[in-house]
Copies of this chain bind each other. A is one copy, B any other.
Amino acid sequence: MSDQAHTEKILLGLEHALDRNDLEGFVQFAKQIPIQDVADFLFYLHSNRRVDAFRLLPRDLGVQVFAYLDPEVGEGLIGNLDDHERQHLIAGMDPDDRAALLEELPEKVAGQLLTALPADEQALTKRILAYPEDSVGRRMTNEYMAVRAEWTIAQALEHIRTHGRDAELLAVIFVTDEQGLLLDSLRLRRFVLGDPGATVESIMDRKFSAVRAEDDQEKAVETLQHYDLLALPVVDANNHLIGVVTIDDIMDVASEEFTEDFHRQGAVADLGMSLREATIGLLWRKRVPWLVTLVFFNILSGAGIAYFEDTLEATMALVFFLPLLIASGGNAGTQSATLMVRALATGDVRMQDWMRLLMREITVAISLGLTMAVAVALVAWARAPEVAVVVGLTMTCVVLMGSLVGLLLPIVLSKFRCDPATASGPLVTSVADVCGVLVYFSIATWYLGIGQIPGE
């Protein structure tokens, strides 16, 4: 059993064997732990030592370990191998992993590696690369098992026994007709538990789900998760079976999609790679667009203040409460946006629910706003009683406005087929800031009766 203490002992053994360049010892230790742990060991090594360690692995084990390496780490590693090592590695990889890797490599290197492949593998790889990025086609494998409806279960099992050894996943078996039309998708258990003399037809229920190779990977995630499947058949336009996506790949996609949403919600463009491996230049490029975009909103806030300069000069105490008021609107807005973005992503709420959600949000926001208003009006009363009413009134308004911006922005974005997660905390906060400044000084000008609203 791979418990913590055992794994750590092995990792230390690997470390020492690597230090002494002890091939035999290294392999012996590596074989005692799951492949994923060997990949982890390589991941945390310095890149020079990583190449040395990888070279100590027997070829087949190397190919398997490589599949679990972070893509950027793998890319760096492959750059340090010689032509012969590289070709062997590429030839041994799963078609979907190979396609993903080749796309990341410099075009010239990728081209050389592709031509060195056997003709059928070459064609397969090119076919996968022809599908759009983030499509199901990029993640599918053709190493599945299909049987025929008219066979007996015994015949099907015999077929699986003879041809199933290389399939990536056997937990799900597909049923097709002679033309390859997909008829059903059944768990292996049904064959094991079934009456050997009965036909495959007799255990079919045809209640299966499938995706198209051109479909977005997100659709595969939703379908697989919704129906609790272990694998999802991929079909062409004529419903012919052309591949399969498995649950482990789908869990990786789900995790990547979530990271993307999470980053977007924090106003960071999709990194597309590990934070650990990201360069300074990449991080700058992924962060600067939103920072600069938001500057424009914030300049509007400044312009709003400038417009109300007379009001401000008449009652300087107003400025002390400015950060508090605009921040509260932004915070309430961030909360609403966060709740909506996630609920839309999980399908918990649907677009057509927006009216009901809006009504509820107004009630919640007014309650929150009044709670906050009482708190800050008391603070204001103690420090600057002349603005207490203005501050309390403004608080209620900004929390309401911020919440509505937070609720509606993701819905509007979704309506225009943009990712609702683009309604990030910082964006909602900036919009709420502008509104907050205008409302605050309008109320102050009106309540404190400081001349006319300027410009009138």
Contact = CB atoms under 8 A, between A and B. Distances in A.
Given A326-B323, A348-B274, A368 B288 contact: yes
B430 A275 contact: no
Nearest to A372: B291
A189 interface: yes
Interface in A246-270: 247-248, 251-252, 254-255, 258-259, 261-263, 265-268
B328 A209 contact: no
Interface string A3-24: 0000000000000000000000
Interface stretch (A50-58, A119-127, A134-142, A160-168): A160-168
Contacts of A171: 171, 187-189, 230
Nearest to A337: B266
Given A225-B255, A295-B375, A275 B348 contact: yes
Interface string A186-229: 01110011000000000000111110000000000000011110
A91 interface: no
A367 B280 contact: yes
Interface string A269-299: 0010011100010011001101110110011
A414 interface: no
A338 B323 CA distance: 23
A433 B338 contact: no
Contacts of A332: 287, 291
Contact of A323 (B302, B316, B320): B302
Contacts of A267: 331, 334-335, 338
A130 interface: no
Contacts of A351: none
Nearest to A369: B291
A287 B284 CA distance: 33
Interface stretch (A79-87, A95-103, A303-311): A303-311
Nearest to A356: B276
29 contacts: A1-B208, A2-B207, A2-B208, A34-B209, A34-B227, A170-B187, A171-B171, A188-B192, A225-B252, A230-B230, A247-B251, A254-B254, A255-B346, A259-B346, A262-B265, A262-B338, A263-B338, A263-B342, A275-B348, A283-B339, A290-B335, A291-B328, A291-B332, A291-B371, A298-B328, A301-B324, A302-B321, A334-B424, A425-B429
Given A266-B338, A302-B324, 8 more contacts: A1-B210, A171-B189, A268-B338, A268-B339, A299-B324, A299-B379, A334-B426, A335-B426
